[in-house]
Amino acid sequence: MTDPALPWWRGAAIYQIYPRSFADSNGDGIGDLNGITAHLPYVASLGVDAIWLSPFFRSPMRDFGYDVSDYCDVDPIFGTLADFDALVARAHELGLRIIVDQVWAHTSDEHDWFIESRSSRDNPKADWYVWADPKPDGSPPNNWQSVFGGPAWTWDARRRQYYMHQFLREQPQLHLHHAPVQHRIFDIVRFWLDRGVDGFRIDAINHSMHDPKLRDNPPAPDNGKVRTRPFDFQIKKYSQSHPDIPLFLEKVRQVFDEYEDRFTVAEVGGDNSDVEMKAFTRGNDRLNTAYGFDFLYAPELTAQFLKTALVKWPAETGTGWPSWAFENHDAPRAVSRWAKGADPTVYCRMKMLLLACLRGNIFLYYGEELGLPQVDIAFEDLQDPEAIANWPLTLSRDGARTPMPWRSDAPYLGFSSTRPWLPVGEAHRALAVDVQEAQPDSLLHWTRKVLALRNGSPALRAGTIDFLDAPDGLLAFERARGDERMLCVFNLGDKAWAWKPRDAGGWTPLLSTGGAEAWHLPATSGLVAKAE
């Protein structure tokens, strides 16, 4: 139930699809746009508002689409622009919005812009990327390190200079301080909005601008954790998070405001993500929302950890609107990180109800509605360049990118008619869509019920949040909007609690899981009640 007084995205549930792994329509082992289109009724049945599509743009696939060689075309492995247009049209028929994933920090080294830029120091695009002369001894211009390991600089003999890359060497850094580059980005935004796209998820936005003086990053203090990459040994003071990024985002917002009902969400990771997310979403002239990595790499989910993250986003004028995700394409599946000794199905039911009760937008990753666990990918099957480079200390992202299980009795679980680009998870067979559709008490049906509760509640979708005193391991809060008040209580600990609010008689339970009832909460349980 969307409040007409609020934009559609306020409190929206957004379903992330990793196109390579969702559905293969042509039998080449790789998911594609037509495969997604064929399964849009399933997505719509979940009760989500929008779909976020990970990159499907033309790319050499060194980083599986996050290395773009043409921002305004579809890579042939995914289909054509006509296929994309058909996907958007069908999604809109079903009441779904489409959000595309844009990468503005870097391109592929096979992009026409970079090919021209590296050809000389005086061509029209010479300044479109970050180039720098070597030090007198021939070494890189500073100490910056790339996320995926090694220096953030690669020598190019054509220009006799180094170019910067914060990720793979095949992902050269765009010079986003440069006005012509910004204007070309604005043209790309308009290209997709003109095709009916409803919003953008902007990848690694705090990596998009650097310190033009190229000052060295200071060393990071030892926090006692195992550091597997040189990147982890630095405070990224100068290589990212430049103060001009919010000013650039104001220009981006002006382009979006040329269109109605469009949406922007930024991905923000790193040590200062909370501060940056607020800066990127402050007021009404920057991005609509941002989400970070609060929960994506957390080894456990506790009541105190949740509360600490949520209280950073009070309902105050000038403070942006948050977004939350428990899973995505860069992080291990949550049930494998958090369930520990708990029954995975019980844990997933509690986790889904909890996510639906959070203040902000919520993101579901494909297969999360099925409770898919992480898949252990053998080294010889790895595709993830970061995992291959840092084996075995960096957990492969591939384990969360495996094919969607549609049919339990099919050789490749209904994803494809041939061997997929990544192995299917055998543990996913019993969790396949067809199995859960046939089970009235499955997590899939529970997800639909939970999202229906959120969508029908102004308080859960867009209300305030107030935390209540509760014993250790218990998270209790009220959501309120207008005349509606909702009480949400979750036991994330390993012991049962008998707990009740001060006005215990004034609540009607609506939905519960894990054996929770008013007012007894076993371990791994949750309850939502409405004020009478």
Contact 167, 106 (CB under 8 A): yes
- Is 426 part of the annotated catalytic residue set? no
**Pairwise CA distance, residues 105 & 176, whole Å:** 7
**Pairwise CA distance, residues 179 & 37, whole Å:** 37
Contact 459, 479 (CB under 8 A): yes
**Pairwise CA distance, residues 54 & 101, whole Å:** 5
Buried b (16+ CB within 10 A) or exposed e, 296-316: bebeebebeebeebbeebeee
- Is 469 part of the annotated catalytic residue set? no
**Pairwise CA distance, residues 243 & 177, whole Å:** 11
Catalytic option among 203, 294, 386, 398:
203
Supply the DSSP symbol for 177: T
Catalytic option among 244, 258, 261, 472:
258
**Pairwise CA distance, residues 204 & 342, whole Å:** 34
Q: Indicate if the alpha-carbon torsion angle 381, 387, 392, 394 is positive or negative.
A: negative
- What tokens does 14 get? 């957004």
Contact 434, 427 (CB under 8 A): no
**Pairwise CA distance, residues 406 & 423, whole Å:** 14
Buried b (16+ CB within 10 A) or exposed e, 477-509: bbbbbeeebbbbbbbbbeeebebbbeeeeebee
Residues assigned a catalytic role:
203, 258
